[in-house]
Amino acid sequence: MSNLVLNEIEMKGWKAEVLAKEIGMPKGTFSKIVNQAATPELRNVLKVVRHIIPHKEKEYMEQYLPSLTTPDRIIEGIEYASTNRMFPQFQMLLDLMENGKSRKLKLYAVSYKLLYTFQKNYHAIDHTFYRNVVSVNKDVLDDEQGMMVDIAEAYFHYKNKDYKTFCVIAQSIKEQIQNIKEGYFKESVTVRLHQMLANVNLLYKCDYDQAVECAEILITSSIGKTYTAYGYYVKAMAALSSNYNEAQKNIDLAIKNYKQASHFDAVKTMKRKMIQIKSFWNKPIEETDDYSKVYKNLSNGAVKEQMVQLSKTAITDPCEKIYIQGVLKGDDTLLLAAMTNYVKEGNYFHSLFPKQALLNRGKSVEAVELFYNIG
């Protein structure tokens, strides 16, 4: 493979000893990484890549991951491919695990196949089958492998909005993580877990302090920009009802990091979150897409049938669609239905939007709270 790091160093005329010192790495280790003379811990490889060619990290890793051969490096590599949504490389390393001679790696392949399926289409998963496959091979099952199966099962309950079961499994995983040696793998599974915990604390528990605590773990990790971005998104939503400037600042940072990760679907989602934040605080909405037009008209007292019709196509989330139409039409029944549906799916955070709309329409706090608690 082409040596992108060495080429950059030679082109810029940088000194190896200076770069190694800046990164905080022994010169010998630095030289081995730069000259591709060894395959050290992935954390060290990423330190070098992100210091010297941060704009070419994906290109470098696309070339680097296929070169991995030892079990520990393959496991680190597949973690990187998974958390950075590099599915071709994920599949390639998965095939390497499944078709290799190491029985231990074959077992890891079971869990990673499970996670791969989750990331591509979590509806198609059969986690019971995979857990049974692992259970008959307990003689070679180590702490890391067992934890990967638990993480996959946690994903299953998380995606199916069974947050109570998820929280029980998550607590067990947090305890298991303490027994794993320091390294990229440990940091990666920690981030995986805390992304889910951040969302559950935000949406289900409405425990904003805990959500922000989890978000900080995502932001300060070295796993990838998508997790950094998600951390900023959680912080923005946690600040939604208390601090407009804080919410706006963090959504801007989320958008910036998602762009750097080339995750443009997420960029679009974050821009819509920004519209929601502006609408919540009655701030001017400058954007001109259909979604923005609908929210721009929420504060208008007159019913605009055109906006009601536009909301049916511009807004895809069913609960959000009912909420928006309830506001546009001034229909308490629709607002109550939106609040009920949000609560039923465990999304207490977003149920605050129709709840606030009812209060804005002059409904008594006691009446709304009573209904909200019943729901």
pLDDT at 263: 82
pLDDT at 137: 53
Q: Quote the tokens at residue 149.
A: 């199966």
pLDDT at 375: 44
pLDDT at 292: 92
The domain spans of the chain are 284-375
pLDDT at 212: 97
pLDDT at 184: 85
- Over its C-alpha atoms, the chain yields an Rg (Å, rounded) of 24
pLDDT at 153: 77
Q: Which of 200, 195, 189 is nearest to 149 (CA)?
A: 189
Q: What are phi and psi of 372, to 5 degrees?
A: -60, -45
d(CA 360, CA 375): 20
pLDDT at 237: 95
Q: In a structure prediction context, what are the per-residue pLDDT tens digits for the chain, which is 375 residues long?
A: 458 999 999 999 999 899 999 999 999 889 988 888 877 889 899 999 999 998 889 899 999 999 998 888 998 999 899 888 889 999 999 999 988 888 778 878 877 877 777 677 655 556 566 556 555 555 555 667 777 778 877 887 887 788 889 999 999 999 989 888 888 888 988 998 999 999 999 999 999 999 999 999 999 998 888 899 999 999 999 999 899 999 999 999 999 999 887 788 899 999 999 999 998 888 999 888 999 999 988 865 555 788 888 998 999 999 999 999 998 888 889 999 999 899 888 888 998 888 888 888 777 666 666 665 644
